[in-house]
Amino acid sequence: MPSLNETSNLILKRTVIVAIFAAVAVVLSLVESIIPVNMGVPGAKLGLANIMVLTCLYFLRTRDAFMMVLLKTLLTAFIFGSFSSFLFSIMGALFSFAAMWFLLLIGRKRLSLIGISTVGGIAHNIGQLTAASLYFHTTNIYYYLPMLLLMGVLTGIAVGIAVKYLIPSLSKLELFSGFVPE
């Protein structure tokens, strides 16, 4: 059984990792907002912040990763600013989080990070369309679904590749000792 000091250190390390990941996710969202990428579909983005979401899900407990998602979403909503953007962002983030969490839960050893990220990208877009449908009181918004699914696959693959290389690098850092899954 770990001592009180060891438990306190572990809680502190988790808190620091969540804060760092949330901050990096916000910075990635800011960088993404200034990159002039026209994907041809309204609302389609690269989803760079999801690099941190999947990495956090990989290393930490579900509630820690969930807290990071909430922090990232709230902070970016304060920066970018409207209720509708917050609604779209939170719905996409929650759908994506739930999908990736579930896949890691059932198949951490059997599924690739790229595959999990791709499902997360698709779920994010479905979440955003659901938010738009609720906000605008129409299901016509699902007209964009085929293109957003394609965008979700492409961005999910890119994010998954980034996470595939990020995790081994972070695993070597002392901060992540004790968090690397067996």
Give the pLDDT score at 6: 78
CA-to-CA separations, 5 to 8, 10, 85, 180, in angstroms, rounded: 5, 9, 42, 20
Residue 2: predicted pLDDT: 65
The angle at the Cα of 176, spanning 170 to 177, to the nearest 5 degrees, equals: 125
pLDDT digits (tens, 9 = 90+) for 20-60: 999 999 999 999 888 877 666 666 678 899 999 999 999 99
DSSP string, 112-165: -HHHHHHHHHHHHHHHHHHHHHHHHT-SGGGGGHHHHHHHHHHHHHHHHHHHHH
Q: What is the pLDDT of residue 112?
A: 95
Strand (E) or helix (H) holding 31: helix 4-34
Structural domains of the chain ordered from first start: 4-176 (1.10.1760.20)
CB 59 within 8 A of CB 170: yes
Per DSSP, helices labelled H in 38-112 are 50-59, 62-80, 83-107
99 Cβ contact list (under 8 Å, min separation 6): 119, 120, 122, 123
pLDDT score recorded for residue 50: 94
For residue 158 the two structure tokens come to 């890119």
39 touches 151 (CB < 8 A): yes
Burial class of 161 by CB neighbour count within 10 A (0 to 12, 13 to 18, 19+): middle
**Residue whose token pair is 């990220």:** 117
Q: What is the pLDDT, as a whole number, of residue 150? A: 92
pLDDT at 108: 85
pLDDT for 43 equals: 62
What string of pLDDT tens digits covers the 182 residues of the chain? 667 777 788 889 999 999 999 999 999 999 988 887 766 666 667 889 999 999 999 999 999 999 999 999 999 988 887 777 889 899 999 999 999 999 999 988 899 999 999 999 999 999 999 999 999 999 998 998 999 999 999 999 999 999 999 999 999 998 887 786 75
So what's the pLDDT on residue 14? 93
